[in-house]
A = this chain, B = another copy of it.
């Protein structure tokens, strides 16, 4: 409870709430899009780079492998319960349900970033390679989503479309940047950190604040979207993160992550993508309604995780770790 309150009163979360408020009263406050996107790239670069540097400092980089596999597995499998829940709770079409499920198997980088900031403020450490897990969890869910969408139909994708999609998945900008900056951190280590520290470390909290301000504005705009959404979808947007987090907690514990790492893996599993997956879905399932999944991921699940989920998942991890 205490942690939940501290979370709500931290500058990043307060900035998010400020953006939300400004959006709800329809203020003309607006962060230029070009700048918001650059801030997102900064956040991605920073977590990748810092993760790489941290890993470079640890003795055994092979410890990375089992968590990586587990993370990829989570991303591949989580769309299944998501799809099931959607068919149960809502009247979303098969295609729409599959598209939404793919978003929930993948991850939200900003939610992850907010969670690391939350842990750091409480002095809880986590594995440096967690950033790599973010990268591997981004795209496998897209495949499952596609299989779910196709399962009804006989017709398969034509070859060109399949090539395009594979490319979209592998060469997705945020994945490339995250893995690339991770590699740069790994290669340059402490010396690299010495050179980039004032930008990637000192500036981090401030940039996160501005970015979350913008997220608040975006989420508020999504609110009008889900007025028409129906209670079933809303329920899904709140239930699915719990399902994801529980799965992530168990997986993290099993594969031997630390307390902080387990809480982060839970957060990742609980979060839904609104960068990589929407782009891939536009290509793979053009007939799925993009505003539906974005409204859910951005308008319901993101604020839930940011405001309540993160401290909850940490508390649960704490309980699991006895």
Contacts and interface: CB of A to CB of B under 8 A. Distances in A.
A205 interface: yes
Contacts of A188: 9-11, 14
A231 interface: no
A203 B38 CA distance: 16
A18 B180 contact: yes
A32 B14 CA distance: 27
A195 B11 contact: yes
A202 B21 CA distance: 28
Contacts of A200: 206
Given A18-B180, A173-B22, A206-B198, A32 B29 contact: no
* Chain multiplicity (copies): 3
Contacts of A168: 28
Nearest to A184: B14
Nearest to A192: B11
A28 B167 CA distance: 10
B279 A187 contact: no
A184 B15 contact: yes
B205 A29 contact: no
25 contacts: A9-B187, A11-B184, A11-B188, A11-B195, A18-B177, A18-B181, A18-B183, A25-B170, A26-B171, A27-B171, A27-B172, A29-B176, A30-B173, A31-B38, A33-B34, A34-B35, A35-B35, A35-B37, A42-B210, A196-B209, A198-B198, A198-B203, A198-B206, A199-B202, A203-B203
Interface of A: 9-11, 14-15, 18, 21-22, 25-35, 37-38, 41-42, 45, 121, 167-168, 170-174, 176-177, 180-181, 183-184, 187-188, 192, 195-196, 198-200, 202-203, 205-207, 209-210, 279
Please provide the 5 A-B residue pairs with the shortest distance between their CB atoms, ordered closest to farther: A199-B206, A29-B173, A32-B34, A198-B202, A27-B171
